[in-house]
Amino acid sequence: MPGFELFGAEERKEVNDVLETGILMRYGFDGPRKGMWKAQELEKAITEVFDCQYAHLTSSGTAALTTAMSALNIGAGDEVIMPSFTFVASFEAVLSVGAVPVLVDVDETLTLSPAAVRAAITPKTKCVMPVHMCGSMADLDALKIICTEHNLILLEDACQSIGGTYKGKALGTIGHAGTFSFDFVKTITCGEGGVVMTNSEDVWTKCDGYTDHGHDHKGVDRGADLHPFIGYNFRISELHAAVGLAQIRKLDTFLSLQRKNNKALRAYLENIPELSFRRVPDEAGDSCSFLSWFLPTEALTKAVIAEMKEQGILAGNFYWYANNWHYISKWDHLKNAITLNRLSDVQQQALLKLKDSSFAASDAVMSRCISTAISLLWTEEQIKEKGEKMVAVIKKVLANATVNA
E strands, 39-78, in order: 54-58
Q: Please enumerate in sequence order all residues whose Cβ is within 8 A of that of 73, keeping only pairs 6 or more positions apart, or say none.
A: none
Query: In terms of Cα–Cα distance, which of 139, 120, 234, 219 is closest to 181?
Result: 234
Query: In terms of Cα–Cα distance, which of 299, 372, 357 is closest to 105?
Result: 357
Query: In terms of Cα–Cα distance, which of 368, 359, 370 is closest to 83?
Result: 359
E strands, 235-316, in order: 276-277, 290-294
Q: How far is CA 202 from the centre of its chain?
A: 24
E strands, 171-217, in order: 177-181, 194-198
User: For residues 111 and 292, is the Cβ–Cβ distance under 8 A?
Assistant: no
User: Residue 41 and residue 15: Cα distance in Å, rounded?
Assistant: 13
Q: Where are the alpha helices (DSSP H) in 61-211?
A: 61-71, 88-96, 114-120, 140-150, 201-210
User: Residue 349 and residue 46: Cα distance in Å, rounded?
Assistant: 40
User: For residues 50 and 173, is the Cβ–Cβ distance under 8 A?
Assistant: yes
Active site residue 186: yes
Q: Quickly count: other Cβ atoms within 10 Å of residue 199's Cβ.
A: 17
Catalytic residue among 126, 186, 335, 386: 186
User: Residue 307 and residue 304: Cα distance in Å, rounded?
Assistant: 5
Q: Please enumerate in sequence order all residues whose Cβ is within 8 A of that of 311, keeping only pairs 6 or more positions apart, or say none.
A: 389, 393
Positions marked active-site: 186
